[in-house]
Chain A
Amino acid sequence: MNTFQLLNGLTFAALLFVVASGFTLIFGLLRIVNLAHGALYLFGGYIGFAVATKTGSFVLGGLGAMAAIAAIGFVLDQGLLRFVRGNELRQVLLTLGFAFVLNDLALVIWGGDSFTVPIPQILRGGMRVLGVFYPTYRLFVLVTGIVVFAALWVLLNHTRLGALIRAGVDDAEMVEASGVNIRRVFLVTFLLGSALAGLGGLMGGAFLSLYPSADAEILVFSLAVVIIGGRGSLVGVGVGSLLVGLLNTLGQVMFPEFAYFVIFGPMAVLLAFRPLGLFGRAVSA
């Protein structure tokens, strides 16, 4: 793998991190495998694309995508998921159905063409890093991934909300019995996780482009990241994203026919020895 491919792997990992961190927050705390997360990503990309094209501002596109997807997340959580709380199978099926609806809605609004979110002038072109000429925008994605990691790290480890989220991952019932309305913590987490999917959609929409079924691809990668890293672990998502991002690039370069196997083969082996993932912990009794 040369430097250029390494950077490709790292920047893809950064995008995966943004999307999968939202996924793992929701999975870890609410115990919901949100199969609509990929659809939220894609829908966020479309909304970001629409806003960015209309206003000419990439930043507004990002804010619009995050706000809109957080709002859709609110509807999903408060309007639908609240009726099936505690029933995991129903929750998973409901999010899957929601994904179908969202994808069809996107198809109605934007059609089946492929779109690329316009990037601002300053991020166009390339620059020289580590001895290679590399697209500036992809470096921006890498930096954004690092910034999101740092922000989430501070939120989780140095704020009271973060402590409540971690406590909820450990034992949600005891958080309630300690006097905290855990459902409010759940809701904030769901909105945050959804907004991250929306942000990911905008970021990915500018270099992977947006098209029907892009949601399933990112969802599969996110699942792999979270399973490898361990449910609800921020560091786990970071490490999982790096592994999946780099393995994906490696696979595409060296064994294009087995690109998926290069990711999921090692994942299966890992799970055989660490069923909870690299940083996963059993629920405390």
Chain B
Amino acid sequence: MLEVRDLHSGYGEAHVVRGVSLDVGTAEIVAVLGRNGMGKTTLIRSIMGLTPPQIRSGSITWRGESLVGLRPHDIAARKIAIVPQGRRLFASLTVTEHLTMLKSARAKTGWTVERVFGIFPRLAERRHHRGGQLSGGERGMLAVGRALMVDPQLILMDEPSEGLAPVMVQHLEEIVLGLKREGLSILLVEQNLYSALAVADRVYVLETGQVVHQGDAATLTRQPELLFQHLGVQ
């Protein structure tokens, strides 16, 4: 569904993503691993149409259509959503308002406020609280909920486990696997290797803006020397 080919992208003089190619299929969870500063966020931002960075060359194709040059809301309209790094909730909006930005609270098609509250009951309890008043776990849930309101077929997740307690990471993994069962695809960018390997079907390892390894998540789990070499994990 998503095809990235030889993508080069960066900020001004900084050439961050250097010729990345990757694919995400239907109902597939693909993880992009790498240490800090390896170009993971730049890759996600480039796919979502967020600028900067500027895309220099290469292609991003979604169901046969090029996404390069489209504005983020046009890309969202093509059913791609983002859970950005650091969540980036709106401090002055209530939980419900985060979910009704795009469609009215009474909308009945696709994802609805009630359905999001169904998978995150905690958010329903906090529906009148503002983004700035939520706990770390609640913030993570709301960021996912906000993305779901786009009715996505692909969700780009940038370090969703960042700053979460282990029990919350596990909850998030279950949600991600549940979404996959419903046919959604997920491109997951992570530093938290174990969380990513727990849910991913396939893995790409990014190092200084290039793919240095790709393969099944199961295979990578069995190759500790590879993990150590690229990610510094023992």
Interface residue ranges, A against B (CB under 8 Å): 160, 163-164, 166-167, 169-171, 173-182, 281, 284-285
Contacting A at CB under 8 A, from B97-139, are 97, 100-102, 104, 131-132
Number of A-B residue pairs at CB separation under 8 A: 74
* B77 A179 Cβ-Cβ under 8 A: yes
Which chain A residues lie closer than 8 Å to B82 at the CB level? 177
Q: What are 29 contact pairs spanning A and B, CB under 8 A?
A: A160-B101, A160-B104, A163-B93, A163-B101, A167-B90, A169-B92, A170-B91, A170-B93, A171-B88, A173-B50, A173-B72, A174-B88, A174-B90, A176-B76, A177-B48, A177-B84, A178-B76, A178-B102, A178-B146, A178-B150, A179-B77, A179-B81, A179-B149, A180-B73, A180-B101, A180-B102, A284-B91, A285-B86, A285-B88
* A179 B100 Cβ-Cβ under 8 A: no
Q: Is B71 an interface residue (CB 8 A)?
A: yes
Which chain B residues lie closer than 8 Å to A284 at the CB level? 88-91, 132
Which chain A residues lie closer than 8 Å to B91 at the CB level? 170, 281, 284
**Smallest CB-CB separation from A171: which chain B residue?**
B88
Measured CB to CB, the closest approach of chain A to B163, in angstroms, equals: 13
Cα-based distance from A189 to B149 in the complex (angstroms): 24
A160-B100, A160-B104, A167-B101 are known contacts. Are A177 and B72 too (CB-CB below 8 A)?
A: yes
Which chain A residues lie closer than 8 Å to B104 at the CB level? 160
Cα-based distance from A169 to B84 in the complex (angstroms): 18
Cβ contact of B76, chosen from A166, A170, A173, A177, cutoff 8 A: A177
* B76 A179 Cβ-Cβ under 8 A: yes
Cβ contact of A179, chosen from B50, B92, B97, B150, cutoff 8 A: B150
* A164 B88 Cβ-Cβ under 8 A: no
